[in-house]
Amino acid sequence: MVTIDELIKDTGAYDCVECGKCTTVCPISNANPKFAPRLIVVKAMAGLEGLAQEPDIWTCTTCETCSDMCPYKVMYSEFIRGLRVEAVSLGVKPRCSQHGLMQNMMRMMTNPGIKQNRLKWVTPELKIADKGEVFYFTGCLPQMSIIFEDREGVNLLGIAQSAVKIFNRAGITPVVSNQEVCCGHDLNWAGDEKNVEKLMKINLDMIKNSGAKKVVFSCPECLRTFDVDYQDMAGDLDYEFMHISEFVADLIDEGKIAFNKLEEKVTYHDPCRLGRHLGIYDAPRDVLKATGADLIEMGRNMKKSACCGVSAWVSCESLTKKMQLERMVEAVGTGAKKLITACPKCQIHLRCAVSKEMPFEKEKADIPIQDFTIMVANSLK
């Protein structure tokens, strides 16, 4: 664990000139004027005690709009993450969604002796292997599909199936492993670094044994965790980590796959991990256009994309729904037939808002959401 002073240095918090631009762009501040990313940092710089006890550190969705807009690149989200680690060490328990089920499941997976049965979704026509060049990291889709079985309009296993379908169509048999465990993203952002390290070890051993050189992810959170956090903890790793949109973009360039031009009107929601955290904006758009989709952008897109409202299952609050509905209304406003997103969590959270009671007619915010990978697989020739 790092000290507050180290955190200030690591995140560049000292660079803050108190201009307040972060506040003006923060989606949380916009809904809740009592919250501002910089207040937490300014308090730390002023040497105030008890920061880790402040509820605000759990309110932040770590969407990184602030960091992306900050003239001096202060990494507010990372600062929050550091404070959460300290908070947990002090015994603070975050108020987790689903009564902490998600995190508990992740912690269970740190036990190397656990028996899993995670490959039930692999239908007979899908070809997978135990060893090979390309590893497809499924992430939490199998577990989450059970928890969110009832959520209207959410199709999680379809993402994994679609990913394998794409690989197979390009003549690739990906490694998919039953030994895979959660990447640990949600623990990492809930202050539980210790268990992330345990999960990392299991995952990295598994990938090493598969002989893969390339690891492809359909989930942006998994990708971020491997590409940034694992390498941060374990040092440089000798794999190529890719999002499936980047992988598909390469396949298109190499002429290995083709699409039925569906000419569907769609709009695209940039997940924060894929966009602001990893800077991947173009690949999903290029691929969508290649499928023949007519891509209509929402007002808030790319770096300025709106947040789906929740991250790491810790920040779901009353104003979350407001943010989500705003985003859905924005999507409906484009006139698109469906909203594409590349993150299963965005899908879950945004659908959550429209599956409950709404302050206005449902049509204003109701638009089908489809995962990027599924959309691509469905368009394959």
Partner 1 sequence: MEPRIGVFVCHCGVNIGGFVDVPNVVEYVKTLPNVVYAGRNLYTCADDGLSAIKNAIKEHNLNRVIVASCTPRTHAPLFRRTCEEAGLNKYLFEFVNIREHCSWVHMKEPERATEKAKKLIEMGVAKAALLEPQEEVRVPVEPRALVLGGGVAGMSAALSLANQGYETHLVEKEDKLGGFVRNLHTLYQTGKGGIESINPLIEKVMANKKIKLFTSSMLKNLTGYIGNYEATIAGKEGETKTKFGTIIVATGALEYKPVGLYGYGEYQNVITLGEFEKMEIEGKFPSAKNVAFINCAGSRGQALEYCSRICCTNVIKSAMKLLEAKAPEAAATLAASIPEAPREEEAVAEEGGRRRRRRREAPAGAAAAPPPSGIDVTVFNRGITTYGIERELLYNAARERGVKFVKFIPENPPKVSREGDKLAISYYHETLKMERKMNPDLIILAAPLVQRPEAEELSKMLKVPLGRDKFFFEAHVKLRPLDFATDGIYLCGTAHAPVFIDEAIYQAYGAASRASIPLARGYVQTEAITAVVDDKKCIGCGSCYGVCPYHAIELSEKEVSLEEVSLKTRKSYVNPAVCKGCGTCVVICPTGAIAQRNFTMPQIMAAIKAFSGIPVPLEVLAL
Partner 2 sequence: MVNKALIIGAGVAGIQASLDLADKGIEVYVVEKEPSIGGRMSQLDKTFPTNDCSICILAPKMADCFGHPNINVLTYSEVQDVAGKAGDFKVKVLKKARHVDEEKCTGCGDCMAKCPVKNIPNKFEMGLGTRRAIYLPFLQAVPRVATIDAEKCLYLTQGKCGNCAKICQRGAILYDQKDETVELNVGAIIIATGYDVWDPTPASEYGYGKYPNVYTAMEYERLICAAGPTQGHMERRSDQKRPQKIAFIQCVGSRNVQLEHPYCCSVCCMHSTKEAILAREHHDDIESFIFYKDLRTFGKGFNEYMERAKKDYGVVYTNSDATVQENPENHNPIVVYDVAGHPEKKEVDIVVLATTLIPRPETRKLAEKIGISMDKFGFLESVDKLLAPLDTRVPGIFLAGYCHEPMDIPEAVAQASGAAARAAEVMVVE
User: How many positions of this chain bind partner 1 (CB under 8 A)?
Assistant: 33
Which residue from 1, 10, 114, 213 is in contact with partner 1, where contact means CB under 8 A? Answer: 10
Q: Choosing among partner 2, partner 1, none, which partner's interface includes residue 92 (Cβ < 5 to 8 Å by kind)? A: none
Based on the shown chain and the rule CB under 8 A, indicate whether residue 3 belongs to the binding site for partner 1: yes
Pick between residue 15 and residue 294 the one whose CB is nearest to partner 1: 15
Which residue from 21, 127, 151, 322 is in contact with partner 2, where contact means CB under 8 A? Answer: 21
Based on the shown chain and the rule CB under 8 A, indicate whether residue 378 belongs to the binding site for partner 2: no
Based on the shown chain and the rule CB under 8 A, indicate whether residue 289 belongs to the binding site for partner 1: no
Based on the shown chain and the rule CB under 8 A, indicate whether residue 9 belongs to the binding site for partner 1: yes
Kindly give, in sequence order, each residue whose CB lies less than 8 Å from that of residue 75, ignoring residues fewer than 6 positions away. Answer: 10, 11, 12, 13, 67
Task: Tell me the C-alpha distance between 257 and 242, whole Å.
Answer: 18
Report in angstroms how near the CB of residue 11 gets to partner 1 at its nearest.
7
Report in angstroms how near the CB of residue 226 gets to partner 1 at its nearest.
12
Kindly give, in sequence order, each residue whose CB lies less than 8 Å from that of residue 298, ignoring residues fewer than 6 positions away. Answer: 267, 269, 305, 306, 327, 330, 331, 333, 334
Q: Choosing among partner 2, partner 1, none, which partner's interface includes residue 156 (Cβ < 5 to 8 Å by kind)? A: none
Task: Tell me the C-alpha distance between 52 and 83, whole Å.
Answer: 5
Task: Tell me the C-alpha distance between 278 and 67, whole Å.
Answer: 13
Based on the shown chain and the rule CB under 8 A, indicate whether residue 14 belongs to the binding site for partner 1: yes
Report in angstroms how near the CB of residue 332 gets to partner 2 at its nearest.
15
DSSP state of 270: P
Task: Tell me the C-alpha distance between 137 and 370, whole Å.
Answer: 20
Coil, strand or helix at 265: strand
Residue in the structure block whose two tokens are 């929402």: 298
Report in angstroms how near the CB of residue 185 gets to partner 1 at its nearest.
13
Give the contact letters, 282-301, x = binds to partner 2 (CB under 8 A), - = no: -----------------x--
Which residue from 44, 60, 63, 75 is in contact with partner 1, where contact means CB under 8 A? Answer: 75
| Residue 82 contacts residue 88 (beta carbons within 8 Å) | no
Task: Tell me the C-alpha distance between 190 and 316, whole Å.
Answer: 13
Which residue from 69, 128, 129, 258 is in contact with partner 2, where contact means CB under 8 A? Answer: 69
Give the contact letters, 303-332, x = binds to partner 2 (CB under 8 A), - = no: -x----------------------------
| Angle at alpha carbon of residue 274, lines to 265 and 325, rounded to 5° | 55
Task: Tell me the C-alpha distance between 133 and 240, whole Å.
Answer: 11
Pick between residue 21 and residue 322 the one whose CB is nearest to partner 2: 21
Q: Which stretch binds partner 1 (CB under 8 A): 68-76, 254-262, 284-292, 317-325?
A: 68-76
Q: Which stretch binds partner 2 (CB under 8 A): 12-20, 114-122, 154-162, 225-233?
A: 12-20
Which two three-digit tokens encode residue 312? 């790491």
Q: Choosing among partner 1, partner 2, none, which partner's interface includes residue 104 (Cβ < 5 to 8 Å by kind)? A: none
User: How many positions of this chain bind partner 2 (CB under 8 A)?
Assistant: 26
| Residue 54 contacts residue 92 (beta carbons within 8 Å) | no
Based on the shown chain and the rule CB under 8 A, indicate whether residue 255 belongs to the binding site for partner 2: no
Taken in order 341, 344, 346, 349, is the CA torsion positive or negative?
positive
Q: Choosing among partner 1, partner 2, none, which partner's interface includes residue 246 (Cβ < 5 to 8 Å by kind)? A: partner 1
Q: Can you list the positions of beta strands (E) in the chain?
A: 134-137, 214-217, 240-243, 265-269, 294-295, 338-341, 369-371
| Residue 295 contacts residue 284 (beta carbons within 8 Å) | no
Q: Which stretch binds partner 1 (CB under 8 A): 251-259, 273-281, 309-317, 339-347?
A: 273-281
Which two three-digit tokens encode residue 134? 């390309």
Which residue from 44, 154, 280, 331 is in contact with partner 1, where contact means CB under 8 A? Answer: 280
| Angle at alpha carbon of residue 45, lines to 42 and 49, rounded to 5° | 95
- Per CB under 8 A, residues contacting partner 1 are 3, 5-6, 9-12, 14-18, 38-39, 42-43, 45-46, 48, 72-73, 75, 78, 227-229, 231-232, 246, 277-280
- Per CB under 8 A, residues contacting partner 2 are 15, 17, 19-26, 29-30, 33-34, 36, 38-39, 42, 68-73, 299, 304
